[in-house]
Structure 1
């Protein structure tokens, strides 16, 4: 992570915050005002970084790609990088008072770790994912384990055997590792995906409980057992509060840090949070749409919380391709709420250009698809009590055979 921060410094993209900053609200209030990297030299006496990949250009740079070609590169991933064993880590007792864990909003249930990557290991399979974790003690957190996701399933399986699930958490990993942990990949291939993104090989260390971790500023090991605690409220990607739940407690039994570690924190509901939630779904949508027509690009928009709104750019081969692309996008990302399909001449990264396509190429009686009573995102405040919602697809493409009606005037005709 430090190397990546230095690369951002060389490009003039880091704001150095030398003055003392509080972990309670103040750091969050500064991060929400900019997408630039914020490096805090004195965050309650510790070093910390926010907005590490808060814009698409920075994220693309971290993944070794250019912004416009990022999704095509990710869609071609094989998840086949190599792991290089580096030995075992020696731990000391865990103590969260040594870290600048932040409280972001007034109604937060407590201080939250938001950029901690949790590695879980069971039967030789290792999963990596990010969970929001509310600190409840010097060595304990209440972790939101989403039902049906891999960590949740592994935890249930361990409990069924009468065992605790061994885990490790890293804070301050390279952004490629963070991104890989946010991506739906073949089971247990997150570290291999990170290795692929970083050039083919990733050094890993073994914690005393057997869990493998990549290089990071901070490493903690522990277990998820039967203990539970109230977790929340917490602000999610929509900028609204998610409610309290009873969630599993992670007990940390050991801790390792670099000298003067740099703590990474992700602003809940901020640009980095939205990019890390949404961009991993873009290659999945890209591959799905490629199965029905020629796809050029996919963007989950910032205004759509990086998760609920998508723009799909295609080259139509038949008149029905726009609607087929809509259905493929909804199938690939079930939390997607609204999707707009545009032609190759429309820039999917430009909201004004997309609006132009809607204004000039859409007839409401012909080009809208409305699907009711379908599963939506649990994060959407307007979902029904049973979790269902309404999805709308907009085919904003030109009518095949009538392209001359839609040609925009210019000097390169």
Structure 2
């Protein structure tokens, strides 16, 4: 992560905060005012910390090594085939969560939360890596939000069924390519090979005493997810609203490994870094799926749509039904997607005014809007029914084939 911070600094994308700043509300509020990487040099008087590590598409493209306009296309070709190089064993020390500048972000939060931490888990030879929010309970215990049916939750169920705890290692302050790979739905056990691919083909991994392997990071916490359940939340999620209280499993921390003068990484809940890491990993998946039904040019999950619930897909129509097929393909690729707009190649999908123009001039409500009721959506959507059912809307904002001349905008380059 330190190398990446310097790369961001060279691009003029770092804001240094030399004054003393509190981890309770103050640092998150400062980070909310910019998309640049914010480097706190005196967090809680003595700690170094960063926020907004990848809070813009430009920052994420720098981290992944792709040009900004070709990032989705390149990610859609990923093979998840990087090499893992053993770098030895990590020595653990006495854990103390209170020694870390873990932040409380908003007034109604249940407490201080780890927000950037990647949970590496392993059971019976099967591994996984994913980000989970984790509430600090005391100096050695966390409460995690594990989404039912996702990989970490399934590994925990398997361990508990055998009367065992699930071994985990939690890392904070990794290279953002590792973070991105851990946020991406990849084939089973391919998170670290994907990270290695993004980083040039190889990545060093270290083994913790409990057997779980992790890449380089500023802070490593070793522990076990247990059968104990406690209340977790309220917590602000990508919609900027408070997620409700649910029962979450307790993680017992048994060891801690930190670098000299570590740099803590916090992600602002509901901020642009959170939105990009939640949504952008789905863009190449949507790209690949839509490419199966028509010619796709680009995909964007929009900031205004919380980086997760709204999408714009740019296509070149080959037949008149392609846009509606693209709508169905996009919903199939990303089941939490709520509204999607399909646009032509002349529309800038990153410019919401241009997308609105396409809706205004190329949509007839009686034939170009597709409404699908009673389908699985996102549990984060305040409009959900229960814990996930919702209504999806697809909008065909493309020109009618054969009548393109009637839709061409006038320019001085004609």
The normalised TM-score by structure 2 is 0.99
Deviation of 1:262 (Å): 0.1
Match of 1:299, SS state, is strand
- 5 Å-filtered alignment, 1:146-295, equals 146-295=147-296
Other-structure match for 2:120 = 119
Match of 1:366, SS state, is coil
C-alpha separation in 1, matches of 2:95 and 2:305: 38
C-alpha separation in 1, matches of 2:388 and 2:340: 19
**Aligned pair 1:29/2:48, yes or no?**
no
C-alpha separation in 1, matches of 2:193 and 2:353: 39
**Aligned pair 1:310/2:311, yes or no?**
yes
Match of 1:20, SS state, is strand
C-alpha separation in 2, matches of 1:101 and 1:228: 22
Other-structure match for 2:339 = 338
Structure 2: segments with no counterpart, 5+ residues: none
Deviation of 1:386 (Å): 6.0
Other-structure match for 1:362 = 363
Show structure 1 runs of 4+ deviating over 2 A: none
Deviation of 1:246 (Å): 1.4
Structure 1: segments with no counterpart, 5+ residues: none
Deviation of 1:147 (Å): 0.3
C-alpha separation in 2, matches of 1:245 and 1:368: 36
1:328-347, Cα deviation, whole Å (9 max, x unpaired): 00111111110000001111
C-alpha separation in 2, matches of 1:386 and 1:269: 19
Contact 2:282 2:334 in 1 (8 A): yes
Contact 2:379 2:387 in 1 (8 A): no
Other-structure match for 1:18 = 18
How much is the aligned-residue C-alpha RMSD, in angstroms?
0.8
C-alpha separation in 1, matches of 2:58 and 2:408: 30
1:38-79, Cα deviation, whole Å (9 max, x unpaired): 000011120000000001110111011111111001100000
Contact 2:275 2:308 in 1 (8 A): yes
Deviation of 1:286 (Å): 0.6
Match of 1:411, SS state, is coil
Aligned length: 413
1:154-195, Cα deviation, whole Å (9 max, x unpaired): 000001011111100000000000000000000011000000
C-alpha separation in 2, matches of 1:145 and 1:75: 27
- 5 Å-filtered alignment, 1:57-72, equals 57-72=58-73
Deviation of 1:366 (Å): 1.1
Deviation of 1:411 (Å): 2.6
Match of 2:288, SS state, is helix
C-alpha separation in 2, matches of 1:115 and 1:144: 13
C-alpha separation in 2, matches of 1:306 and 1:396: 20
